[in-house]
Amino acid sequence: MAERLSASSAEESPEPQPSRSRRRYKATNMAFEEMVEMVSILRREDYDGKKGPYTRPNMRKDKIMSSVVTALEHKFGTKRAKEQLRKRWSDLKTREPEQY
| Tens of pLDDT, residues 53-81 | 899 999 999 999 999 999 999 999 988 99
**3-state helix/strand/coil string of the chain:** CHHHHHHHHHHHCCCCCCCCCCCCCCCCCCCHHHHHHHHHHHHHCCCCCCCCCCCCHHHHHHHHHHHHHHHHHHHHCCCCCHHHHHHHHHHHHHCCCCCC
Domain borders along the chain are 27-100
Q: How far apart are CA 17 and CA 53, in angstroms?
A: 45
Kindly indicate the confidence band of residue 12, based on its pLDDT and cuts at 50, 70 and 90: low
Q: What is the pLDDT of residue 74?
A: 96
Inform me whether the pLDDT recorded for 39 exceeds 80.
Answer: yes
Q: What is the pLDDT of residue 6?
A: 52
In this prediction the pTM is: 0.69
- 90 residue type, one letter: S
Q: How far apart are CA 100 and CA 96, in angstroms?
A: 6
Contact indicator for 91, 84 with CB cutoff of 8 Å:
no
Q: How far apart are CA 81 and CA 98, in angstroms?
A: 24
